[in-house]
Each structure stands twice: as C-alpha cells, then as structure tokens.
Structure 1
C-alpha cells in the first residue's frame, strides 16, 4: 500500500461518507423541526362554529403546507439533485408560526375592515374574548428555556386591562375604549422581569409559583368616549365588539 492509499483509507475511516453526512443533516433537521413545532401545552380545542380569540390564535398558528407555487428551495435537495450547475430544487414543505418570547404587554389587533374587490366593508362579527388568556397552547416549547419561565411551567397567563371598540360603519364612526384601573405594580414584583430590559435578571423571593395561578390584578372598569367617562361592570366590557385588546402578562 502506498502513502496516498493509506491517507485515503484513514480519511474514509475517520470521517463520515457522503450518504452518512446527508443522513446526519436530515436527522438534525428533523430533531430541530420537532422542537420548534412542539408547544408548551396541548393545542387549544375549538368547538364547532366557535369565533373567539383562542380560535383565531389557533388558526394563526396552525401548520400550513407549502406546495405548488409556494414550494420552498431546499439546500439538501439541491446538493443531491441539483446537478453540476447546482440548479435550485424546490420541494413541498410545512410552515408554522409560534410565539417564542411572550411580551410583557400583549396587544391583539382584530381585523374589522376588509376590502371586497372594489368595495370596503366593516367586519361586525362578534369575537369572544375573556379577561384571562393563556398563551401556552400557542407558544413554542423552546420558550421554557427563557429566563422569564420557571421549571415545569405550562401556562403563560395574561390579564385583560383595555379594549378599543369602533362604533358605526365604514363610512363614519367613533372609537371608544374600556380600561381597567389597577393598583400600581409593587417594586419587588416578579412581573418587572417580563420587560425586555429586565429579562436577564431574576427577582429575588418571587411570590409566584410556576404551577399555580397568580392573582388577577384587581380594579374597576371604565367606559371612555372623548371626555365622557363612566364606571361599567365587567360583563359590559365582555360584550364589546373588540377592535383592539390589551393584555398584561401575569405569569
């Protein structure tokens, strides 16, 4: 055996073959895809005909098939079958949007105005919403590695504190608001760490538990229309045809 043959055999023995290398790439991709597609808790189960914030989030985060004109370019397929000129190979794929880093303040904008061909119209369908919202079914499982999560946490809870409603039609209307006046946040509250600039810090002696439900901030609801302000019951707020919803993270 000459020197060149010996070097060639050693390289083949120490390094993976082309087929093995491609198999490793596929395995790594599958593992990574599974991690990203898993959610913190089970997917939300919608009832038949349900129209709610949760059903909207379910639809927004569902897995989509990218086929036909929506195929995506695949580096692995191009490497395998692209030929000497490395022609880009397009293949079917799946796409899914999930929340990674839940914000301290969550603002949901519901689509109330839509264009039908050459005509604009207002979407007046009632969308059910609640004062307490759990985002865990729509959050990537990778979120649990963030500093704002505790070990074993399976909920991401938000409390409603504001609603904006549009009254009237597409040709003329008026914006009104409902807001909940809450007590100021205490200086040692764990909730300060939900702010982006504080996410590298852990609040000492945090009063919350990872598996329990925290206290929903107390307060009174008020209806605001220009300079007119009046106190209203929470039930009145939940009947609003919401255009914007404002939530604050409490877990």
Structure 2
C-alpha cells in the first residue's frame, strides 16, 4: 500500500511540533499517486480539485486490493433472497459491491428527485456519490459572478426546483384512461379495475387495451426535478466551478469573491422538513449571531451533543459544519499558484505539546509554499476561494 504509507508518513511529519524551521516535501505521496494515475506528472502543474479527487479515488482503489471478506453485513445482504437487491446489484463480485458501498469521511450522496405535479407521484429517485461537491457560481447577464454572491446562493442554485412541461407521466395516463373508460356508455369494469390497480407504470401492458387512436384528452403532465444532499459527509469539500469556456473557445476563469460562512447549516439543502427556507447561517450576512454560535459550538465540540443547549432547537448538529480550510487560486486557467488558509487548534503548551494553552481559541494560518503566517478571520473570509473544507461539528 505505497500511497497509504507515504500519506501516513507525511501526516505524521506534519503533526510534529519543532523548535526550528523544517522543510517537508510531499514528493513521496506524489510519486505513489503517479502509480495509480497514469497522466499525473510531477513536472507539471496540477489542478488542486483534480489532485484531491485522484488522491481519494487512488486510496480507495489501493484499499480495495487488500479487501478480505469476513461475512460483513454487505456479504449477509448478498446471501439473502431480496428481489430488489438482486435486480439492482446483479452478479457483481462481492469486492466490487463492497467497494461501491464503502464510505469515507469525504463521501456524500446527492439525490435526484423527479416528481409529477399533477398526481404528486415520484417518477424517479436516483442517487450519486460525491467526494467533492461541485457548485457553479451565480452569474449575471455578462457572464460574471454576481455582486454579493455567496455559498448559500450557490447551494440554492444547485438545489433549485426545475419545472418540466409536457412531461409524460405514466400514472397520470392510467388515471386519465380509467376516467375515460368509466365515462363511456358501455363501461368495461374489468379494464377500469386493471387501470386503477396497476402499479407497474411504464412496464405494464395497459396501453394494449386501447386501439391505435389516442385518448380524446391530453395525458401530458407537469413535472419537477430537484437535487438534494441526501447523505452529508463527515468532511464537506466544496469546489467552486470557476473555469469556463469563452466565446472564442478559450478557457477563462470567473474572477470575483464568493462569500462563505464560518458556520454552515446544510439542513435547507437536504430535503428535510426545514428545507423550506434559507436557514444556512452566514457570519457576513447574519452578523454576530452566527459568529457567536460558531464560536460556542467550537468551545463545546467535546461536549455531549444531546445535552448541548448552545444551538437552536431547529438546527440539527449532524448537518452543522465549521469552516476548516480555504484553498485560493491566483492566476488564470492553466497556470497560477495555490495557497491555503487553515484553521488550527490553540498553541500547544511547550511542556505538554498535547495540551492546548488555556484561554486561546482557534487560530488561522496562511500557507503559500514555504511562507506561513497567522492571519485574522477577516482575511480568511475575504479569500477568493476555489475549494472550501468544512468539518461536521
């Protein structure tokens, strides 16, 4: 497991507290990553979001090679006579099924819901895993990022309800066909009953009951499609899609600040009961209330969640996230430089490195290659972010 060992070694070196300046080189991790990603070249620049995804996927592949079945819960499921499971999974090897269901700290799930507005039925429900949530900035008529655009706006845009007209809903067709037959002078009770009791919409033979001529009334429906975050990851990575293609076919980068909060609540974007309104708390928009709550939650991170009284009752702690890191890109598409803002714990006690100094809260540092400096929160919130990392509280 060369990649896992190289990454573990680098992380161990990073957490050692030293009294003198030390240079740490991630060459070992990058070389191990090139074993899994053929086009990963150490001599050329890499996109930060692509490198991050390559790292997670390569770790998953490396870990999967060492998988040994031990009659896990997934193995027990494969032995059951579940008709639904057999149809969905087919005859895939157990290791491949296990790999598909393996969730790491960065893994979440996005659900796509297609619903009929006429009969209120769910037409389809699909799920797709993600390591990094891609969000498009809100652009104005000129193709530039709108003034005052925020992460909350991008999440709203990502989960906005799309309206589809003239959609063919099979359940609506059954309802219309049954009504049509029941209003005829000679009612065929058997056909009406079959239409009303049918549940295999789209795969049934109900349409064969009618001659070639269509029904006298329209069976087209209005449908809605919406994306929701159905499974929230432990560590939420957000990628702002700033790269685009201009009218001349050349790649361009959408410059401009997208504001982001210190404390983020994902509840409005998960399809839950609280998703009716924009409840995400933004320190820049909501003022000191969100910032105060953010700091309270940080101070009580080790307390029992069930007994915590600092968070409002309408907020679910499983969907509350605190900002942990911000990656900023300087330059244009195809070139430039990456730097990062990182939130760290308090300064360690020199006599006991594992014990933080009392009275000091979280601190932010700006890292650009070998340059490291402590910065205030205001500098972090002014960053022109490309990647955001949030940790679940």
Range of TM-score over shorter length: 0.5 to 0.7
TM-score, structure 2 normalization: 0.38
User: Conserved in 1, the CA contact under 8 Å of 2:365 and 2:374?
Assistant: yes
CA distance in 1, matches of 2:326, 2:369: 15
CA distance in 1, matches of 2:120, 2:271: 17
Give the Å deviation of 1:138.
1.8
1:169 maps to which residue?
A: 332
CA distance in 2, matches of 1:29, 1:149: 36
Supply the RMSD in Å over aligned alpha carbons: 3.8
1:56-205 equivalences under 5 Å are 56-67=154-165, 72-79=167-174, 80-81=176-177, 82=207, 83=210, 91-117=221-247, 118-141=249-272, 153-156=313-316, 157-182=320-345
User: Conserved in 1, the CA contact under 8 Å of 2:267 and 2:274?
Assistant: no
CA distance in 1, matches of 2:273, 2:223: 21
Give the Å deviation of 1:161.
0.5
2:138 maps to which residue?
A: none
1:235 maps to which residue?
A: 378
CA distance in 2, matches of 1:174, 1:90: 52
2:363 maps to which residue?
A: 220
CA distance in 2, matches of 1:138, 1:54: 10
Change (3 A) 1:149 1:137: farther
Give the Å deviation of 1:154.
2.3
- Determine whether 1:244 maps to 2:381: no
Gaps of 5+ in 2: 1-116, 124-145, 178-206, 276-304, 347-359
Gaps of 5+ in 1: 1-25, 34-47, 184-216
1:53 maps to which residue?
A: 151
Change (3 A) 1:175 1:78: same
The SS at the match of 2:329 is strand
CA distance in 2, matches of 1:155, 1:62: 21
CA distance in 2, matches of 1:115, 1:149: 48
CA distance in 1, matches of 2:154, 2:389: 16
Change (3 A) 1:149 1:170: farther
CA distance in 1, matches of 2:306, 2:386: 30
CA distance in 1, matches of 2:239, 2:379: 20
Give the Å deviation of 1:221.
1.0
Change (3 A) 1:27 1:239: closer
CA distance in 2, matches of 1:96, 1:50: 25
CA distance in 2, matches of 1:49, 1:227: 33
The SS at the match of 2:326 is strand
